[in-house]
């Protein structure tokens, strides 16, 4: 359908500086394909660019100088260097936007940047970078410079500021709305004022009928509500909507009517279905009202400080009829919160459309290097197009995960052909070939098909994403993914204890994880492991043993990055729904009318988990830089710890287990990563032999086989390089094996020629 509705989609502050959060792009692509006029804006990025400019910093310094702040020595130093900051902020931002890389030598080799507290340990940080390039070193130093300014802002005019969050604490475990309500009723601080100025300009330009806010994280909620409240002031006719990851997990039982002073409609789970129903209802309602009500019923009002823009204001009581809504909260005429969920089907994953990044200033995002963790760098450095291979999780059993919610439980895939169509559309639109697949856990077979389709069409991209370390990721599949552009994967090793992995129903073992990570590493793909401590019933011994497993993984070189996080019990996970099964007790918080997700718990059979956090983090930081791998584990803790009981060669032994022989996989598909060979013959000890010569990117090599096998093998490899649509199974190739061959098929699979082909890129998938 086509609609005259003007829709504004907003990402409120703050998520990432280097690339757009994809929610609005997904929704814009979906709604745009159905005839809606949609504008999107990333006010997180725009706030940062407005704040970190010469004009913005001038306002910050003026507010500090005229305000009543107790300043630290670090802040006083920065005030004294005010002119240096004002003269350097513009060039630094342009450098981080990759618009002026010639600034790198000045940043690295001269006193160009004013330095405050974040530079105290810069010598150690630089040494940790090793031989990284000049531009990367400069980007890290420029990031420290921005973080210094961020520290100053947090200490003074913007205590809630953070580069990837804004007023996050107000939304964390907020069972009541009181704290947020109080903050929103307070006069806007300087950052709020800047944000409202950006919104005023945006609303004046777009004049939206509907303004939607995505709130993926707690650090987006305050900004979204502050912006929605401002819209109520300057454009009362505009309806406000909210959805996203935070409402999906935290606000599923909301009963707080004051929330709806800001937001007219709160939708749950995927936005496509609920938004489509809601917008259709709004369109019909507004159409009837505009064309059937007398003109005198309208009231013209100026928008904010832009008197030249006028709009017709509809009475606030005119809301869409509720029998058309799906997974939507609203405040009804009685002033009570009501949840409407008519039984409409969900929009199938293949029909959600291609994300549309138009309206977003893709050249304005900042590539920063905050920390030295190589996977975290991918999060913050570079412009990544975000795309989903499949909806939900194909495993959906992990007991710590929100497996009962739609974003996990409803698993749907899209054909590889459709995914590559979308990839090509996004590349054409953005000019960027980097992709971050944001699946909960990308399914291995879907990734296989995607990789083959990319290679078939010769679509060259660079991509990374999250997976499960499951045995389906064979070394051959890892090589295929690398050939299609995969550079990194992340996955959950979690507790690194086979007992606890079984308890949490992770579906993997330590030995299996070791073999899978080795396969990725051998294929040239970086591996990041998510690590967990504090799982129910985890003992001190198991925590130390888990660290020993992690040490061995890094020592073996098969994991290059990792991050420890403390187990958190959530209301929508199996542990949260049945804590007694996991021998823990839920002790709070008391349910309230607002958010409900994070639960407090006691673990009477476990250990003092909190005490281990600093030591685990310190050990991991050193391991990922190859430092102190031989130190006893007690070195990392300031209290007595037991010796590990894990065998010292656990990981090495797992890696030495033989894989399946080729002959045992007759139903698997053959795939050749190389080029078609040239064939010639040469004399050998037992008569002529065939020589197949391969010309590849990095090297040329030859495979020598008995003469009768030469034409057969050449034909096979030519067909594998030209025909991607016909699946050639190993048993089919065996059936075509020449009858006059001097050795049987099973022996040929063990021959030097076949083994060399397997080494050079003949895959069995």
The domain spans of the chain are 6-45+167-344, 50-160, 384-655, 662-764
Taking the CA atoms of 51, 52, 56 and 59 in sequence, report the sign of the dihedral they define: positive
Q: How far apart are CA 78 and CA 60, in angstroms?
A: 12
pLDDT of amino acid 376: 84
Contacts of 149 (CB under 8 A, 6+ apart): 52, 57, 78, 85, 89
According to the model, what pLDDT value does residue 311 have? Answer: 34
Q: How many CA atoms lie within 13 Å of 120's alpha carbon, on the beta-carbon side?
A: 5
Q: State pLDDT tens for residues 286-327.
A: 665 443 333 223 233 333 333 333 333 344 444 556 778 999
Q: Return the pLDDT at 652.
A: 97
Question: What pLDDT shows up at residue 455?
Answer: 97
The reported pLDDT for the residue numbered 288 is: 52
Q: What is the pLDDT of residues 110-149, one digit of tens each?
A: 889 999 999 987 755 555 554 457 888 899 999 999 999 9
**Selection from 43, 44, 82, 77 nearest residue 63 by Cα:** 82
Whole-number Cα distances in Å, 324 to 338, 340, 343, 597: 14, 9, 10, 28
- For residue 290, which phi and psi values (nearest 5 degrees)? -65, -35
Q: List 705's β-bridge partners, or say none.
A: 690
The residue behind tokens 């004399």 is 683
Tell whether the model's pLDDT for residue 187 goes beyond 60.
Answer: yes
Contact 222, 160 (CB under 8 A): yes
Question: How does pLDDT run across 656-665, given as a tens digit for each residue?
Answer: 998 889 999 9
Indicate if the pLDDT at residue 500 is higher than 50.
yes
Question: CB-based burial of residue 83 (10 Å sphere; 0-12 exposed, 13-18 middle, 19+ buried)?
Answer: exposed
What CA–CA distance (Å, rounded) separates 374 from 377?
Answer: 5
For 157, residues 6+ apart whose C-beta sits below 8 A from its C-beta are 60, 63, 64, 67, 189, 190, 191
Cα 692 from chain centre? 44
pLDDT greater than 70 at residue 632: yes
Give the single-character DSSP code of 143.
Answer: H
Q: Which residue has the higher pLDDT, 288 or 490?
A: 490
- Is residue 324 packed enough to be buried (19+ CB in 10 Å), middle (13-18) or exposed (0-12)? middle
- Does the domain at residues 384-655 carry the CATH identifier 3.20.20.70? no
pLDDT band (50, 70, 90) for residue 167: confident
Q: What is the pTM of this model?
A: 0.92
pLDDT in tens, 712-764: 999 999 999 998 988 999 999 999 999 989 999 999 999 999 999 999 999 99
Model pLDDT for residues 204-219, shown as the tens digit of each residue: 999 999 999 999 999 9
Q: What percent of the chain has pLDDT over 90?
A: 81
| pLDDT of 319 | 55
According to the model, what pLDDT value does residue 314 have? 40
- What is the model's pLDDT at position 109? 87
> 8-56 pLDDT, tens per residue?
999 999 898 999 999 999 999 999 999 999 999 999 999 999 999 999 9
**Assigned CATH topology for domain 6-45+167-344:** Rossmann fold (3.40.50)
Average pLDDT over residues 253-280: 95
Please compute the mean of the pLDDT values over residues 194-199 and round it to a whole number.
Answer: 97
pLDDT tens digit string along 578-622? Answer: 999 999 999 989 889 999 999 999 999 888 899 999 999 999 999
């Amino acid at each position: 359908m086509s609609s005259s509705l003007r829709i504004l989609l907003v990402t409120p502050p703050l998520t990432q500086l280097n690339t757009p959060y994809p929610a609005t792009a997904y929704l814009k692509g979906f709604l745009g394909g159905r005839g809606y006029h949609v504008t999107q804006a990333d006010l997180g990025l725009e706030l940062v660019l407005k704040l970190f400019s010469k004009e913005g910093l001038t306002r910050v310094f003026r507010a500090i100088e005229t305000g009543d702040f107790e300043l630290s020595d670090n802040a006083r130093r920065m005030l004294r260097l005010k002119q240096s900051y004002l003269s350097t902020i513009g060039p630094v931002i342009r450098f981080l936007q990759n618009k002026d890389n010639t600034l790198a030598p000045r940043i690295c080799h001269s006193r160009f940047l004013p330095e405050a507290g974040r530079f105290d340990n810069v010598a150690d940080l630089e040494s940790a970078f090793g031989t990284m390039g000049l531009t990367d070193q400069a980007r890290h130093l420029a990031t420290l410079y921005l973080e210094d300014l961020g520290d100053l802002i947090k200490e003074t005019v913007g205590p809630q500021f953070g580069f990837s969050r804004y007023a996050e604490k107000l939304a964390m475990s907020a069972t009541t709305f009181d704290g947020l309500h109080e903050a929103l009723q307070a006069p806007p601080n300087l950052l709020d004022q800047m944000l409202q100025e950006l919104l005023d300009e945006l609303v004046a330009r777009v004049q939206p009928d509907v303004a939607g806010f995505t709130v993926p994280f707690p650090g987006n909620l305050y900004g979204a509500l502050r912006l929605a409240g401002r819209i109520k002031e300057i454009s009362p006719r505009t309806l406000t909507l909210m959805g996203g990851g935070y409402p999906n997990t935290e606000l599923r039982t909301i009963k707080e009517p004051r929330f709806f002073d800001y937001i007219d409609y709160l939708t749950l789970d995927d936005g496509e279905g609920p938004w489509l129903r809601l917008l259709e209802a709004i369109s019909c309602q507004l159409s009837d009202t505009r064309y059937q009500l007398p003109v005198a019923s309208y009231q013209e009002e100026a928008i904010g400080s832009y008197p030249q823009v006028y709009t017709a204001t509809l009475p606030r009581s005119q809301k869409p009829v509720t029998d058309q809504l799906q997974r939507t909260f609203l405040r009804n005429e009685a002033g009570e919160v009501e949840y409407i969920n008519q039984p409409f089907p969900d929009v199938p994953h293949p029909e959600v459309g291609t994300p549309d990044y138009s309206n977003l200033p893709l050249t304005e995002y900042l590539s920063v290097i905050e920390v030295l963790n190589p996977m975290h760098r991918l999060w913050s450095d570079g412009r990544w197009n975000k795309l989903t291979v499949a909806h939900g999780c194909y495993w959906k059993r992990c007991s710590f995960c929100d497996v009962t919610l739609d974003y996990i439980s409803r698993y749907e895939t899209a054909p590889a052909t459709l995914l590559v169509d979308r990839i090509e559309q996004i590349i054409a639109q953005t000019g960027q070939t980097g992709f971050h697949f944001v699946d909960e856990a990308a399914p291995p077979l879907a990734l296989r098909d995607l990789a083959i389709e990319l290679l078939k069409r010769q679509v060259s991209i660079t991509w990374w994403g999250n997976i499960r370390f499951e045995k389906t990721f064979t070394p051959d599949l890892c090589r295929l993914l690398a050939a299609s552009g995969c550079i990194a994967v992340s996955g959950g090793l979690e507790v690194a204890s086979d007992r606890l992995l079984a308890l949490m129903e992770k579906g993997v073992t330590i030995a299996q994880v070791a073999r899978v990570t080795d396969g990725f590493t051998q294929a040239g793909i970086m591996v990041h492991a998510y690590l967990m401590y504090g799982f129910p019933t985890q003992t001190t011994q198991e925590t130390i043993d888990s660290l020993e497993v992690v040490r061995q993984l890094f020592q073996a070189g098969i994991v290059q990055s990792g991050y420890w996080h403390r187990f958190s019990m959530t209301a929508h996970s199996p542990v949260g729904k049945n804590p007694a099964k996991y021998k823990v007790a839920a002790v709070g918080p008391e349910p309230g009318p607002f958010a409900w997700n994070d639960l407090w718990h006691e673990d009477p059979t476990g250990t003092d988990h909190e005490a281990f956090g600093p030591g685990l983090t310190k050990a991991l930081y050193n391991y990922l830089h190859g430092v102190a791998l031989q130190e006893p584990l007690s070195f990392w803790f300031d209290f007595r710890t037991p010796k590990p009981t894990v065998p010292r060669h656990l990981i090495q032994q797992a890696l030495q287990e033989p894989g399946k022989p080729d002959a045992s996989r007759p139903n698997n598909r053959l795939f050749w990563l190389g080029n078609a060979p040239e064939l010639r013959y040469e004399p050998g000890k037992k008569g002529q032999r065939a020589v197949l010569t391969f010309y590849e990117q990095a090297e040329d090599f030859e495979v020598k086989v008995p003469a009768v096998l030469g034409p057969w093998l050449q034909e096979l490899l030519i067909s594998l390089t030209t025909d991607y649509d016909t699946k050639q199974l190993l048993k089919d190739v065996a059936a075509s094996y020449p009858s006059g061959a001097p050795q049987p098929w099973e022996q040929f699979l063990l021959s030097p020629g076949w083994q060399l082909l397997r080494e050079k890129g003949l895959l069995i998938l």
